[in-house]
Structure 1
Amino acid sequence: MKKWLFGIFLLALVLRIINLGDLPHGFFEEEVTNAYVGRFIFQNGKDLYGNIFPLLYFDKFHDYPPVLPMYISGLGTFLFGNTEFAARFPIALIGALTVFPVFGIATLLSLSGLFAAFLLAILPWHIVLSRTGAEGVIGLYVFVLGLLWVFQKRFRWAMVAFFLTYFLYPSFRILTPLTVLPLVFFLKPRKAFLFAGIAFILFTAAISATPWGRGRFEQTSIFKSQEIQGRVNYLNTYFSNDEGTDQVKMARAFHNKIIGYSREIAKQYMSYFSPTHLFYEAEGQPRYFNVPQQGLLYMTMGLLFFASLISVGSKKFMGYIVYLLIIAPIPAVLTIDFVPHAHRAILMILLLILIAAYGYKSLVQIRVVLIILLITELVFFWHQYSHHSASYQSRLRNDGDKELAKYIIEHDKEYERFIIPMFERLPVYYAYFSGNYNAALAGQFRNELKIDRIGKVEFFTDWCPTKYLKSEDLSPGALVVDNGDCPGVPGYQEIDTFVRRDGTRAYKLLIWK
């Protein structure tokens, strides 16, 4: 069995690191930022704003994401240099390692541990997130370890793991207390689980009271959305008027904000269990998952889910697993950014795999057929992912930014000045690929990772520098970069253009005639 499990791990690793430097195509700004910031702190003992070894967060744009995943991403640069592969490898490796605790949990629940591990190894949802540097993959790994230690009755280690999830991915700040409290009804010592559950609730409340704890949630909260607010108000007004002017109490009872927002939340919640989203073609955030004609799961898993309804055997903890599946989308449901959001609902991966493994018990006699079907679907997924996802994700994954940074580095000796926009983390792209981790940069970066200059490269506060630069501002050796959508300005000669995989123009390189 150990040989089979190790073989499954190797399969998972291959599916997560093969051609990792260019699949997914486009080096997303969060990926390069995480790797650069992590390496910068390791090398200089402080972050880009001058903070000494931060442990809680790093502020990108008032969102305050956890900083620990950045340290992990930065480690890859020490092994593989300043490359896309280096930035993505640590999380891809952790994604592959997750097959081991998944195997352990499934085995302890009297399920087929090998089949559960195999499902995780080939699952599109987990493969794509592992390859995109999604920090939730680290959070899921540690959470699964914690749950494994719970079932192994290693209480202290489990609580340490659950505590650590708070500083790996924000969704677990809601999910962890909701996971621990119900254990009172399943396991002993009950008082210990009750105390831990209450402690985690208080810890979540304490973090939520801080600016860094609520930063990203305030930016994406369903209750802060002007779009949602406008829709709720419009529908309430429409139906209240339809009730008639003499039915004020009736209108207030049925058409109010509580009911309006409840319906919006219910609509978002149900989208996470949509068969189309799960099995046919995933919706939501295309930066994290946008494989054409491919759902988050395989269609064969639908048969396994159906079989789980009639499966025989021990059901001691399956009710708890179903409960966890019910609560898993809650952090994602409370936000409005690209719903349904595959990353924020990442815990669903573990639970759907365990339920599928439970159904496998009833279909074990046709296991060869199931494996053949799953491998066939894996081949189709990989084709769609490796051949067609690039054009779908091109603009959203910063296609062209890496290419621009590398062009400037390669042509450094040909120009006296480079003037480029400072947006889309272009300063970070340039610093990363040039290997510039000079401690003097600490404190020069401002919020949103903006900086005025790095060496010969000047960062302009507009997408179209040529609209504002005069001939007297430019020396003969100056190269100016405009966004691809900028209008042409008389007096400039376009010498090159960067075109994204989807055919749109990313940047124009210009010199003064």
Structure 2
Amino acid sequence: MKKNVFLVLLVLSAALFLRLINLGSLPHGLQNDEASFFYNAVSLLQTGVDEDGRRMPLYLNSFIDPKPALFSYLQIPFIAVLGKTIFAARFVSALLGTASLFLLYLLIRKLSSNPTLALLVLSLMAISPWHIVLSRSTQEVILSFFFLVLSLLFASKLFLSKNTLSRQWLFFVLTCGGSFLSMYSYHSAKLLLPLFTLGLALYSVRGASKKLIWPVATLVLQASFVIVTMFLVSGGLSRAAAVGLFSTGDTQLVLDEQIRIATATSNPLVIRIFHNKVINYGFAFSQTYFSHFTAQFLFLRGGDPTRYIVPFHGLLYLVELPLLALGIFAALRASGKKRNTALLFLSWLLVSPIPSALTTEESVSMIRTAPMLVPLLYFVAEGILFLWHEISQKSTKVALRITLIVLYTASFAYFVHQYSVFQPRYRPWTRQFIDQQLATYLTQNNDQFSQVVISKVTGQPYVYLALNDLISSSQLQDSIPARLQNEYVLGKYRFVSDGCYVGSEPEVLYVVGGTCTFTSDTPPFREIGEITYFDGAEGYRLLVSATRLEPAE
């Protein structure tokens, strides 16, 4: 027992180290969402209100995309202690990621009654590329994942253990609390968590009707949480409406084209049977759904968003491909509790891609399907244990252990190399590095210009200036609703939608896109500098007017 506790602590310590090392510089660049959470945490710490001037908000409206404010609240103590640094801003993600591993260990141990299997899954998660990237890079995703595992852990204790009535109520409250916070934190949990809980309920009941009350009560509460977080909370539906399967007309355009072509040669009844919304949208859903089970997604490239992709690397290690297949085979051919547990994890695996498949933006997603990692590594661990138990000779077992250690060490070293060397250079414009550099430049040269006109070529650069105290909290809080327009002014900084805007005013700095080309109608200008991406690609050009002022008569 003491040895097992020591190993768990050792693995968790290693996991935390892997998620904290160079956290301020990897991933490279402070992406828009990171910057938004970061600034709002600073604003709440210093002024007690968010960037819109709201006290104790539930959601942040930054960039017109509602985000759960809980993450910013969790950042506050670390920023207060560690300072206003990127490391402090990301520390919560790394801590939540590591804590979720411990909860997952307890969950696997509870469901499988196998401490060795639970420890093996914990070890695999500790070095998982998928989980490391999520723990270092995301905010609401890893927050939701933490509460999802927490909810399932207490649900398993509620459904599967014999408890006193007081403990049953305690586990019920903790299950529902974790469920609400997971759904509140990220959209995909609104669908996945009730499905996961349903699978756990079916796994636990086994025909015993007296056990139905807690699973049913939990599912009813979770359904009400979906309604609350989707329909009653401001902004709950806006994101789903923007990226949902029906949000674009692409599938409808294909359907209209099919009907137009078939009309010339086919019977109207045949057209109605084969060319309708059910079939076409079902095909679009299936195409995206099954893309999450391909080698391209799992082992070779990974998934969207682009800013999380590690070049020439998948979400799992290639060595895990045969182990995954072997684990599924071995677990499903077992009998009794082991088979039931395998079926539970298989059901979780099969439903995990559904939220991603119901979207059109970044649809083959590694963040919407983050819980998919749990059943995948469960079966990988089952594959390793199957090999171990099938081998009887001691020398062969030693060879297997050495082989796995060598393969995993080489795989992990390759991942670290790709992540630290190539990921910063892979499509760096997705991480807004140039906005950080622009804020640094303006901090050093602010007094040289009476006004700065910034083209919004990367999205919303104002938050980076605010983080560098170039824009005050009061200026930002007073800029609503003007800041929601295409063009707005914050202090001496004017933000314009034209990516190549150049005027003729003196003592004004014009920040334009690095690839801008100009015509003879453009006022004369002089280029005083440029800001490039980490890979040397053009980012911003810094221009000042070259128009000569005529002396007054």
Equivalent residue number for residue 192 of structure 1: 214
The 5 Å alignment of 1:344-493 reads: 344-364=368-388, 365=397, 366-422=400-456, 424-434=459-469, 438-439=473-474, 441-446=476-481, 448=484, 452-466=488-502, 469-470=503-504, 474-475=505-506, 477-488=507-518, 489-493=522-526
Q: Quote the offset at 1:3 in angstroms.
A: 2.1
- For residues 251 and 454 of structure 1, the distance between their equivalents in structure 2, rounded to whole angstroms, comes to 57
Matched residue type, 2:198: L
Q: Does 1:268 align with 2:288?
A: yes
Aligned residue for 1:485, secondary structure, equals coil
Q: Is 1:215–2:238 an aligned residue pair?
A: yes
- The 4+ residue runs of structure 1 with deviation greater than 4 A are 447-451
Structure 2 residue 530 is matched with structure 1 residue 497: yes
**What's 2:54 paired with?**
51
Which among 47, 62, 65 is matched to residue 63 of structure 1? 65
Between stretches 87-96 and 215-224, larger displacement belongs to 87-96
CA offset at residue 147 of structure 1?
Answer: 1.4
C-alpha separation in 2, matches of 1:144 and 1:403:
38
Q: Report the CA distance between 1:490 and its aligned residue.
A: 4.6
2:255·2:280 contact (CA, 8 Å) conserved in 1? Answer: yes
Q: Output one character per residue of 1:59-112: Cα deviation in whole Å (capped at 9) or x when no partner.
A: 234432222123234544323333322222211221122221121122221342
Q: Match for residue 110 of structure 1?
A: 113
| Structure number with higher helix proportion | 2
In the other structure, the counterpart of 2:33 is: 30
Q: Is the 8 A contact 1:171 1:344 kept in 2?
A: yes
My pick for the range that moved more, 441-450 or 374-383, is: 441-450
Whether contact under 8 Å (2:475, 2:491) holds in the other structure is no
C-alpha distance after superposition, 1:255-292 (max 9, x if no partner): 211101001100000011112210122243212x2111
- Deviations along 1:343-388, one digit per CA (max 9) or x if unpaired, are 1111101221222222222123434422321121111111111111
Matched, 1:125 2:130: yes
TM-score with structure 2 setting the length? 0.85
Equivalent position of 2:165 in the other structure: none
Contact 1:399-1:506 within 8 A present in 2 as well: no
Q: In 2 relative to 1, CA 492–120 (structure 1 residues): closer, same or farther, beyond 3 Å?
A: same
Structure 1 gaps, min length 5: none
Q: Which letter does structure 1 place at the counterpart of 2:187? A: P
In the alignment, which residue of structure 1 is the partner of 2:251?
228
Q: 1:452 to 1:63 in 2, by over 3 A?
A: closer
User: What corresponds to 2:8 in structure 1?
Assistant: 5
Amino acid in structure 2 at the alignment position of 1:44: T
Pair 1:253 & 2:278 matched:
no
RMSD over equivalenced CA pairs, Å: 2.3
CA distance in 2, matches of 1:276, 1:438: 45
Distance 2:492 2:65 in 1: 30
Q: Deviations over 1:280-313 (max 9, x none)?
A: 22243212x2111111111122222122212457
Q: Indicate whether 1:137 and 2:142 are aligned.
A: yes
1:180 to 197, 220, 223: 197
Letter aligned with residue 500 of structure 1: Y
- Displacement of 1:332: 1.1
Residue 182 (structure 2) pairs with residue 165 (structure 1): yes
In structure 1, the residue corresponding to 2:330 is in which secondary structure? coil
Taking the TM superposition and a 5 Å limit, the aligned residue runs for 1:64-79 are 64-79=66-81
The one of 91, 94, 99 aligned to 1:92:
94
Secondary structure, aligned partner of 1:494 = strand
Q: Which amino acid aligns with 1:178?
A: L
Query: Which whole-Å CA distance do the structure 2 matches of 1:84 and 1:393 have between them?
Result: 21
| Counterpart amino acid of residue 47 in structure 2 | N
8 Å CA contact 1:34–1:74 kept in 2: the answer is no
Offset of 1:199 from its aligned partner? 2.7
| Closer, same or farther: CA 162–367 of 1 in aligned 2, 3 Å | farther
Over the matched positions of the two proteins, sequence identity in percent amounts to 28
- Helix, strand or coil for the counterpart of 2:174? helix
Following the alignment from structure 1 to structure 2, what is the Cα–Cα distance between the partners of residues 184 and 342? 27
Preserved CA contact (<8 Å) 1:87 1:133: no
Query: How far does residue 501 in structure 1 lie from its aligned partner after superposition?
Result: 2.8
How many residues are paired up?
A: 502
How is 1:229-244 mapped onto 2 (pairs within 5 angstroms)?
229-238=252-261, 240-241=262-263, 244=265
Give the match's secondary structure for 1:506.
Answer: strand
In structure 2, the partner of 1:315 is 339
1:342, CA displacement in angstroms? 0.5
Seen in structure 2, the aligned counterparts of structure 1 residues 294 and 349 have a Cα distance that, compared at 3 Å, is same
Cα distance, 1:388–1:173 mapped onto 2, change above 3 Å: same
Matches within 5 A, 1:277-316: 277-287=297-307, 289-308=308-327, 309-311=329-331, 312=334, 314-316=338-340
Distance 1:448 1:291 in 2: 34
What secondary structure sits across from 2:29 in the alignment?
Answer: coil
| Structure 1 range deviating more: 46-55 or 151-160 | 151-160
Superposed displacement of residue 177, structure 1: 1.8
Q: Which amino acid aligns with 1:264?
A: A
User: CA–CA distance in 1 between the matches of 2:439 and 2:485?
Assistant: 16
Residue 512 (structure 1) aligns with: 545
Instruction: Give per-residue Cα distances to partners, 1:470-501, cap 9 Å, x unaligned.
Output: 3xxx23x3322112122244521101111113
DSSP 3-state at the match of 1:269? helix
**Could you state the TM-score of these two structures normalised by the residue count of structure 1?**
0.91
Which secondary structure state, in structure 1, belongs to the residue aligned with residue 35 of structure 2? Answer: helix
| Contact residue 48 and residue 445 of structure 1 kept, 8 A | no
Alpha-carbon distance in 2 for matches of 1:144, 1:444: 39
Letter in 2 for 1:406: T
Matched, 1:147 2:152: yes
Between the aligned partners of 1:279 and 1:460, the Cα distance in structure 2 is 42
Per-residue deviation, 1:152: 2.7
Structure 1, 322-331 or 417-426: larger mean CA deviation: 417-426
* Aligned mates of 2:539, 2:409 — CA distance in 1: 38
The question of whether the paired residues in 1 share the 8 Å contact of 2:78 and 2:88 is answered with yes
Letter in 2 for 1:10: S
